[in-house]
């Protein structure tokens, strides 16, 4: 049994209100989480405000960079602890978390620390009305206290994707991890203390959304900016809360991402790429592919090949050899995903594979398992084609022309990501420009240069993260005009 306390002003804070943290592999109890109330959130925000004018606010950029490198090194020194904490919360295979989640979680501190050392601003010389001159130059100043509201699918990676640039820019943070995945955000508090990050710079408050830590944090008048990754409905609520006080938001929200496969694509690479984008992390990836459009001449062959890929996935506990797919994050999410499996059946889908709960050993039977699932035969109006499911599933439909598939892909309120598989370079560039998404991959998926802009169009978000684009949210430009 672990005790996940709030981390406020460099100290561990317990509360009288607790909730369970359970392992989705078998629904076993991992520990209890101390839920923060308004008083704890107030204290955390006050600590973060005080740190802005304390030792943290007085550090030079070089000193902050050195400190954030130390944080990254601290995560790597305790790599196995972070790995086991992450897989206990999420159930994802250790082979995935050890190559993606934990390394990226540490790297996010170094990437943004190094970036802030070299980011340029602007300067202008101007003539003045009296015939003299003036010099205008800009400096970047931290925005202040940042409320960081995190998702549960990539808990450490996506949390540090926000905390890293926020701290690099000189801000302080109050983090509200998902109630499903409290472990690595809490463990990071230990690292912050170990490497000497001043108290109040990094704070963690546990809890839920409405009438809990999430709402108290996003509504707090002394939180100067809010960043959130998660589903669109929650993003809308956060945006409404941020309107009070006219505070900026950075929102990376839901998606219903298309994958487009042309007949001229490298067939095997396209099948492998779509399989990965549909089923990796049990489909719990905002960038995942739930709508697949395949050019008609290769449609039947593609469906058969993707079926084989889905049925070749090995489900099991995170540390077992050869496991390629874990459970969903919780029984509540399992219930949601299964409701879409049932909707697909009711709407007349052809179930190519899956569609239910897999048979698992008795010891795992209480876990949040679902089968990787493929459907065909549904109209574009069907719920599983229109709505984000966030599970290991996809619907495959044929298309005949380039213009047709562009229209199909764009016919959604979302606009986060797309993948295009083709050997025709001209076609690739045309689709890259025509698809209404924040990121379009050509013959790849989840290939990320952390310097590039990342974010969604339409209901998939507001703002961009990555490289200097993150710095634009976490800093404000102050113009200084000097009469010469």
411 φ/ψ angles, rounded to the nearest 5 degrees: -85, 70
Contact, 353 vs 309, CB < 8 A? no
Q: Which residues pair with 350 in a beta bridge?
A: 376
What's the rounded Cα separation, in Å, for the pair 290 and 418? 10
Identify the burial level of 218 via C-beta atoms within 10 angstroms of its C-beta, where 0-12 means exposed, 13-18 middle and 19 or more buried. buried
Active site residue 252: yes
What's the rounded Cα separation, in Å, for the pair 156 and 96? 13
What's the rounded Cα separation, in Å, for the pair 332 and 336? 7
Residue 277: in which H helix or E strand, if any? Answer: helix 267-279
Hey, what domains does the chain have and what are their CATH numbers? 2-253+460-483 (3.40.605.10), 257-449 (3.40.309.10)
Map residue 257 onto helix, strand or coil.
Answer: strand
- Token pair listed for 443: 């013959």
Catalytic residue among 40, 150, 179, 286: 286
16 φ/ψ angles, rounded to the nearest 5 degrees: -80, -10
Given 3-state DSSP classes, what are the helix, strand and coil percentages for the chain, each rounded to the nearest 5?
40, 25, 35
Strand order in the sheet with 29-34: 2-4, 29-34, 18-22
Question: Rg of the chain over CA atoms, in angstroms?
Answer: 23
- Token pair listed for 269: 């690479």
Cα atoms in the Cβ-side hemisphere of radius 13 Å centred on 129: 0
**pLDDT value of residue 252:** 97
Contact, 345 vs 388, CB < 8 A? no
Tens digit of each residue's pLDDT (9 = 90 or more) over 51-64? 999 999 999 999 99
Map residue 221 onto helix, strand or coil.
Answer: coil
**pLDDT value of residue 74:** 98
Angle ∠(46,238,72) on CA atoms, nearest 5: 60
Exposure class string for 330-355: b at 16+ Cβ within 10 A, else e: beebbeebbebbebbeebebebbbbb
252 φ/ψ angles, rounded to the nearest 5 degrees: -110, 110
Contacts of 136 (CB under 8 A, 6+ apart): 123, 124, 125, 126, 479, 480, 481, 482
Q: Which residue has the tokens 């509360």?
A: 15
**pLDDT value of residue 1:** 85
Residue 14: in which H helix or E strand, if any? Answer: none
**How many Cβ atoms from other residues are within 10 Å of residue 284's Cβ?**
23
Catalytic residue among 35, 180, 252, 280: 252
Which ranges of 317-389 would DSSP assign to H, the alpha helix? 331-346, 383-386
Contacts of 193 (CB under 8 A, 6+ apart): 10
Map residue 401 onto helix, strand or coil.
Answer: coil
Contact, 148 vs 238, CB < 8 A? no
Q: Which residues pair with 397 in a beta bridge?
A: 293
Q: Which residue has the tokens 């070299």?
A: 118
Angle ∠(468,474,475) on CA atoms, nearest 5: 85
**pLDDT value of residue 338:** 98
What's the rounded Cα separation, in Å, for the pair 46 and 121? 31
**How many Cβ atoms from other residues are within 10 Å of residue 276's Cβ?**
18
What's the rounded Cα separation, in Å, for the pair 69 and 66? 5
Contact, 290 vs 446, CB < 8 A? no
Stretches where the chain sits below pLDDT 50 are none
């Amino acid at each position: 049994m672990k005790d996940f306390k709030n981390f406020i002003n460099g100290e561990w804070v317990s509360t009288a209100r607790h909730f369970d943290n359970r392992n989705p592999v078998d629904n076993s109890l991992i520990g209890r989480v101390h839920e923060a109330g308004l008083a704890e959130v107030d204290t955390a925000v006050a600590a973060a405000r005080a740190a802005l004018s304390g030792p943290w606010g007085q550090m030079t950029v070089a000193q902050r960079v050195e400190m954030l490198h130390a944080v990254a090194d601290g995560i790597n020194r305790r790599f196995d602890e972070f790995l086991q904490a992450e897989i206990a919360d999420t159930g994802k295979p250790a082979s995935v978390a050890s190559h993606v989640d934990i390394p990226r979680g540490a790297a996010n501190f170094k990437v943004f620390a190094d970036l802030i050392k070299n980011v340029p601003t602007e300067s202008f010389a101007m003539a003045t009305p009296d015939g003299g001159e003036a010099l205008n130059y800009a400096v970047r100043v931290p925005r202040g206290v940042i409320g960081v509201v995190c998702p549960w699918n990539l808990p450490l990676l996506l949390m540090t994707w926000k905390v890293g640039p926020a701290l690099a820019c000189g801000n302080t943070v109050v983090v509200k991890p998902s109630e499903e995945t409290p472990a690595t955000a809490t463990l990071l508090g230990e690292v912050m203390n170990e490497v000497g990050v001043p108290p109040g710079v990094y704070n963690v408050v546990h809890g839920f959304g409405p009438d809990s830590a999430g709402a108290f944090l996003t509504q707090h008048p002394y939180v100067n900016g809010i960043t959130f990754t998660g589903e669109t409905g929650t993003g809308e609520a956060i945006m409404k809360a941020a309107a009070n006080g006219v505070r900026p938001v950075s929102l990376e929200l839901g998606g219903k991402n298309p994958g487009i496969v042309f007949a001229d694509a490298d067939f095997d690479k396209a099948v492998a790429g779509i399989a990965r984008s549909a089923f990796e992390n049990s489909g719990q990836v905002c960038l995942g592919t739930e709508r697949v459009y395949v050019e008609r001449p290769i449609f039947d062959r593609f469906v058969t090949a993707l079926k084989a890929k889905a049925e070749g996935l090995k489900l099991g506990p995170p540390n077992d050899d050869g496991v390629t797919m874990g459970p969903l994050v919780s029984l509540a999410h399992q219930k949601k995903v299964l409701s879409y499996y049932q909707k697909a059946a009711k709407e007349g889908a052809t179930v190519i594979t899956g569609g239910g709960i897999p048979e698992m050993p008795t010891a795992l039977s209480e876990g949040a398992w679902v089968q990787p699932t493929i459907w065909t035969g549904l109209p574009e109006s069907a719920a599983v084609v229109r709505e984000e499911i966030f599970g290991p599933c996809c619907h495959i439909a044929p298309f005949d022309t380039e213009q047709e598939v562009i229209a199909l892909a764009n016919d959604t309120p979302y606009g986060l990501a797309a993948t295009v598989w083709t050997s025709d370079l001209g076609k690739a560039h045309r689709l890259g420009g025509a698809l209404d998404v924040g990121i379009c991959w050509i013959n790849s998926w989840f290939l990320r240069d952390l310097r590039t802009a990342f974010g969604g169009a339409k209901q998939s978000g507001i703002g961009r993260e990555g490289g200097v684009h993150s710095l634009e949210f976490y800093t404000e430009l102050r113009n200084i005009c000097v009469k010469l």
